[in-house]
Amino acid sequence: MTAGQSTAETKKNHNQNHKKEAVALSSILAGTALTGTKFVVGILTGSIGIMSEAAHSLLDLGAAGLTFYAVRFGGQPADEKHHYGHGKIESVSALIETGLLFLTSGWIIYEASHRLMTKNIEVEATWYAFAVVIFSILVDISRSRALTKVAQETKSQALEADALHFSSDIWSSTVVLVGLILVLFGVQGADALAAIGVSIFVAVAGWRLGKRTIDVLVDTAPQGITEVVAAIVKTTKGVVAVENIRVRPLGPNVFVDVAIQISRTLSLPKVEEIKTSIKERIIEKVPEADIGIRTSSVQLDNETIVESIQALAGKSNLTLHNIVVDNLDEKKYISFDLELEDFLTLRKSHEIATELEKAIKEEFGSDVEINSHIEPQKKEAILSSNVTAEEMAKVMTLITETDQQIKIISNLHNVLVRKIGERFFISLHCLAPAELSIEEVHNAVSRFEYLIKNKMPEIKRVVIHVEPKD
């Protein structure tokens, strides 16, 4: 990603957060006005239905406040004290709000039932009673649409939930409106029955909200996500087995912790490639996922001996080449070249080689015969120099003579000769029949290198790149 793109992305996120906060704040202001108006009209008219709606609006106001707090603070990143972020702030507040909701609903049902049983029903179906309920419906429609629009633009689950919550208020307000109309036509108890209906509706909504909140607080895995993650991980190339999958919701995010088994012969870049593939595929299905992947290396049944030796060396960050394994008289012989830093002493190098040989014997048995050849490993670039015209001519003559002795390779080209100290380093390209096996070609190249070094001992190394003749 370029610097410009990073700045653009930051600006986009800032704009989205501003939109979310603005629409949440407007919802708080509207909720404050509605709650106060309903309580005043409910007291003036004696309508328990409008009082229940006022209590419901008070719940909405609390929900709007929680939403505003959530979009402003709940999305803050993890810190030293909150390793998983601040998403549960909303859940704790919502649980308290749910408890108050049940108490309010219980009081309204008790008061409405008492009025019905004592026939102490004095409700005035005034014009301002109708006005406040109709106004409430219109405001709830407006808020629901505004919240839904911004939720879709910013992909905010908090705003989406708030929009659904306010859209349910439209139906509860409609029930109260019907009750007032029946009171206007002389139907006794209609207002109280409407209040009970609203309270039951609110209690059911509170039960659902409380259940979701408790699920978050006790880390209940969201339904279906574990199965989706398991299917993705199991079908990812390179994964041997899935050890464990843990999913926990937290605010708008879902934390996914995956433990997998991989072949111990894989390189670190390959392991990172597998982990990246898993993360990308999970995010395609679960965009809100925050993913952590742990790997453990295991030995596969089809692992070759050479791969096993490389894996054992890789555990200690050692580099091997020229690994040869042969069997003679039912005994296994293993030899390899071990590359170590050139500044290490012979004592330390021998200790490292001995530890590796010990690990190999533990893997294949103590009767294995191991021979290791230690080579200095140069990690920094070495300063080389050009050869003289006479030296170049001497090397080219030698290469031409040697080429005539090796019939498999031909057309030597791209010859490069340089010196490091008093030793010659040669690299060249050549052609060989495309149908030959790698072993046949390698034997020919090795023979070429042996002959040229034998004729000119000052040559330190010869690197030959072979290309198919066709």
Q: In the sheet where 369-377 sits, what is the strand order?
A: 319-328, 331-341, 369-377
Q: In the sheet where 239-250 sits, what is the strand order?
A: 239-250, 253-263, 289-298
The angle that helices 127-154 and 3-45 make with each other, rounded to 10 degrees, is: 170
The model's pLDDT over 84-121, given as tens digits with 9 standing for 90+, comes to 655 566 566 666 666 766 776 777 677 667 666 766 55
Say what the pLDDT of residue 278 is: 94
Q: How far is the C-alpha of 7 from the C-alpha of 26, rounded, in Å?
A: 29
Which residue positions in the chain have pLDDT lower than 50? 1-6, 9, 123
Say what the pLDDT of residue 334 is: 92
376 φ/ψ angles, rounded to the nearest 5 degrees: -70, 140
Say what the pLDDT of residue 422 is: 87
Structure tokens, 35: 């709650």
The model's pLDDT over 219-244, given as tens digits with 9 standing for 90+, comes to 666 778 889 999 999 999 999 999 99
* C-alpha angle 281-286-287 in degrees, rounded to nearest 5: 95
pTM over 0.85: no
Say what the pLDDT of residue 366 is: 84
Contact 373, 336 (CB under 8 A): yes
At position 163, the amino acid (one-letter code) is A
- Report all structural domains of the chain as residue ranges with CATH numbers, in order of start: 11-217 (1.20.1510.10), 225-298 (3.30.70.1350), 305-377 (3.30.70.1350), 385-468 (3.30.70.1350)
The DSSP line for 255-275 is EEEEEEEEETTS-HHHHHHHH
